[in-house]
Every structure is written in C-alpha cells, then in structure tokens.
Amino acid sequence: MDIRIRKSNKRDIESVKKIAVKAFQFNSDLRKKILGKEMFKIFYPDWQNKKRRTIEYLFNSEDCKVFVAESKGKIVGFASFKLDKAKPFVSEILTNAVSPRYQGQGIAKMLYKKLLDELKSMRIKYVYVGTNNDFAKKAYEKVGFVKKLESTQYFMKL
Ligand SMILES: CC(C)(COP(=O)(O)OP(=O)(O)OC[C@H]1O[C@@H](n2cnc3c(N)ncnc32)[C@H](O)[C@@H]1OP(=O)(O)O)[C@@H](O)C(=O)NCCC(=O)NCCS
C-alpha cells in the first residue's frame, strides 16, 4: 500500500475528526462493555464531541503538531505531539488513530516513526505517551518505547 506521511494543514481538520471518532469507537465500546451502560454514560457522555474538540485543540495550539497518513490522496490516519514549554527537551505523543479499514497494516508505526524523527530533528531528548489500547501498545514498543509504567483506573457504584 502506498502511504505518505506529511505534516497536516488546517484543511485536514474535518477528515482527522472523522477518523478519530470512527477509530475511538472501538475503545469506547470496550469501556462500555466493562463499565456497563449506566456508568459509561456518567463517565464518558458525549465522548465524540470531546474527541472533536481535542482535534481542534491539536490543530490550533502552537505547542502541538499533527501529522497525517495519506493513501491515494485520502487521509487514513494521524498522530500528534505536544512540546513542553517548561521542559523544552521533553515531548508527549498525544491523540493518534488510523481509520478502521486501514488498521493492521503498519500505518500507526509509520506515523510514530515520523513523529520520533521530527522530535529528534528538533533536538527533543525525551518522549512519553500513555494509552490503554493494546494495538497502540504493541506499535509503541515496536518503535522503541521499552520502559513502561502501567496504571489502572477503578470504578464503583456506591
Ligand atoms: C492504535 C492504532 C492507532 C493502531 O493503528 P494500526 O495502523 O492498526 O497499527 P499498526 O498496523 O502499526 O499495528 C500495531 C500493532 O497492532 C496489531 N494490530 C493492529 N490492528 C489489529 C487487529 N485488528 N487485530 C490484531 N492485531 C492488530 C498489528 O499487528 C501490530 O502488531 P505487530 O507489530 O506485532 O504486528 C489503531 O488501532 C487505532 O486507531 N485505535 C483507536 C485509537 C487509539 O487507541 N489510538 C491510540 C492511542 S491515543
């Protein structure tokens, strides 16, 4: 498959929002399954709009950069990072997703590699990322993230 990774521009924002909502449906369904409908509604109401607002933030914040993956001129995935003004040698990888139809073909790994190359070229020395998604974990480990701190969230109805 012919995939090109490039820096995003403002015209990409709507495509990226659509991919984010489609791809995070999987994570959301898993949460609903674990928490049950009632608790899911309490803790994750309106998650789609929240995701869209996150994308707006990533595109509009001068501390963030978004890269997109294109196949035949169509955006099929994206990944982002944020710089830390207080620690100019540190960056966090933020929201990223690949359109469900294009998953499992190495696109996330290509995007992560591109982010890491970009960060290296900016002389960033340390990078971190958090996720609950098992596919993302695999991909992060493949591109070199080996040190990890696991954490768990607990929920209970009183
Ligand atoms: C996480 C995500 C970006 C990975 O995208 P991707 O392009 O499918 O990832 P890759 O193809 O690079 O594969 C990553 C690993 O997951 C595996 N994988 C991906 N999709 C899979 C599937 N449906 N079934 C089994 N394995 C799968 C790949 O085989 C690969 O493992 P490997 O290197 O051992 O072969 C994508 O699943 C997604 O958008 N998830 C929802 C959003 C999300 O959680 N984003 C990450 C955190 S912000």
Give per-residue pLDDT as tens, 58-93: 999 999 999 999 999 999 999 999 999 999 999 999
Check pocket membership of 9 for ligand 1, CB cut-off 6 A: no
CA of 67 to the centre of ligand 1 (A): 17
Look at ligand 1, atom 25, and give the residue with the nearest C-alpha. 104
- The per-residue pLDDT for range 99-156, each reduced to its tens digit, is 999 999 999 999 999 999 999 999 999 999 999 999 999 999 999 999 999 999 999 9
CA of 115 to the centre of ligand 1 (A): 16
Check pocket membership of 103 for ligand 1, CB cut-off 6 A: yes
For residue 135, the ligand 1 atom closest to its alpha carbon is 16
Look at ligand 1, atom 31, and give the residue with the nearest C-alpha. 138
Check pocket membership of 20 for ligand 1, CB cut-off 6 A: no
Long-range CB pairs of 24-27, under 8 A, 24+ apart, other chains included = 24/51, 24/97, 25/100, 26/100, 26/133, 27/132, 27/133
Q: Cα dist. 21→16, 27, 95, 149 in Å? A: 9, 10, 11, 27
Question: Does the structure show a pLDDT above 90 at 7?
Answer: yes
